[in-house]
Amino acid sequence: FGALQSFDPDIAGVLLSELDRIRSGLQLIASENISSPAVLTALGSTLSNKYAEGYPGRRYYGGCSEVDKAETIAIERAKALFGADHANVQAHSGASANQAVYGAFMSPGDTILAMALPMGGHLTHGTKVSFSGKWFNAVHYGVDATTEDIDYDQVEALAKEHRPKVICAGGSAIPRLIDFARFRAIADEVGAILWVDAAHFIGLVAGKAIPSPVPYADVVTFTTHKVLRGPRSGALVCKAEHAAAMDKAIFPMMQGGPQMHTIAAKAVNFKEAATPEYAKYATDVIANSQQLAASLLELGIRPTTGGTDTHLSLLDLQGVGVTGKEAEERADAAGIVLNKNAIPFDPQKPNIASGIRVGTPSVTTQGMGLEEMKQIASLIHQAVTQGDADPDHAVSKQVRAEVTDLVTRFPAYPR
Ligand code: PLP
């Protein structure tokens, strides 16, 4: 770090102030986490220098002996961790892994059936602003108006009507477990590929805290940086029969050279995720998430679906008369980092939204437990309902003081 500091104090300063930002606030973004120094060390390594187009033992560049070892270890660990036939660890991100699914199984104009973005899906699941909605015919399912959980009958009806090539299960704001067996049955009924986008919850699967989609899905894509707590990247596992198609879709169809330093960091992460400590962590993430949602409900902020089975909950703010945008700004001013989020059947535009999404991966990594979740619920409630976007507002200051106390007792990257 000394070399960076003397050559480029501007960027060194950003690295330090970002560390300070992480340490000084409550990090409740459901898709973020605090990865280990071991993962960060692999990320910042000389493996970044190496071109390695191709796969271990089949490269288009010389000098790949060492990176081959890293990628082979990463592949074997991913297969063991998820009990999968095949793993590809080269995707640069979750979106790149998802692109590969389209590349492997679909041609432009083919139909995909996936969850609608405003109901909890993801941009890459066929939204118009994404390649997936521009080049493919996307049909979307949503949630049931009463339960606010996935409307499986609608999935089945749409599948029968549109005969999609691929059915996608998974999304960015789904608080409940997904019925993979039901999705598999629907896919089989119409001869579709079942793709599970497990970006959000794969860490809970790795920790054996929730059921795995791997036995059911043709292909499971995921990010490695959310609950899983690895480097910012993507990966996928699939059935043996799709191994060659998925590998070709990642390279050379969608990507060029793999990021070998990130692949090494993924290997480290997969090793971490196979430990008993990580399994306890995954269970704690859910217990904390459930406590946070229950405490918010007691304070009048309703979790959609009535609660959560996972690391995240989606809170409907209509009962307290605050928009998602206002809530995000007020929380931010009080040192609480969370994001506004559309709720199912949201009357507001997406950039205003009626809800917020809160997740417990980061605070659980910091060692916080059920008592702290009760306190965090109270802090969110105070900031959102009585606070202000102005950091100098009395409520912002008062909540921030309590946040400072919490993060001092449970530090991120303890010194
Ligand atoms: N799929 C889902 C369900 C996600 O939630 C995300 C990111 O939040 C992605 C894919 C995309 O991942 P990335 O941001 O790494 O491209």
CA nearest ligand 1 atom 14, residue: 94
At 58 the pLDDT is 97
Atom of ligand 1 nearest to the CA of 96: 16
pLDDT at 295: 98
Read off the pLDDT band of 12 (50, 70, 90): very high
Given this model, what pLDDT does residue 412 score?
A: 98
**Among the listed residues 160, 204, 187, the one whose alpha carbon sits nearest the alpha carbon of residue 33:** 204
Annotated binding site for (6S)-5,6,7,8-tetrahydrofolate: 117, 121-123, 241
pLDDT at 192: 98
Tokens of 415: 């010194």
Average pLDDT over residues 159-173: 98
Ligand 1 centroid–CA 295 distance in Å is: 28
| Direct distance between the N- and C-terminal alpha carbons of the chain, in angstroms, rounded to an integer | 16
Label residue 297 exposed, middle or buried (CB < 10 Å: 0-12, 13-18, 19+). Answer: middle
Return the best residue to mutate from 31, 33, 35, 122 for the ligand 1 pocket (most ligand atoms within 8 A of CB). Answer: 122
Of 50, 59, 165, 226, the active-site residue reads: 226
**How far is residue 325's CA from residue 17's CA, in Å, rounded to a whole number?**
25
pLDDT in tens, 324-377: 999 999 999 999 999 999 999 999 999 999 999 999 999 999 999 999 999 999
Task: State how far the Cα of 120 lies from the Cα of 308, in Å rounded to an integer.
Answer: 14
Q: What is the pLDDT of residue 221?
A: 98
Is 333 in contact with 387 (CB distance < 8 Å)? Answer: yes
Average pLDDT over residues 397-414: 98
Mark whether 51 is an active-site residue: yes
CB contact at 8 A, 298 and 290: no
- Mean pLDDT, the chain, rounded, equals 98
Find the catalytic residue in 232, 239, 248, 325.
232
Block residue for tokens 């229950």: 294
Centroid of ligand 1 to alpha carbon of 116 (angstroms): 14
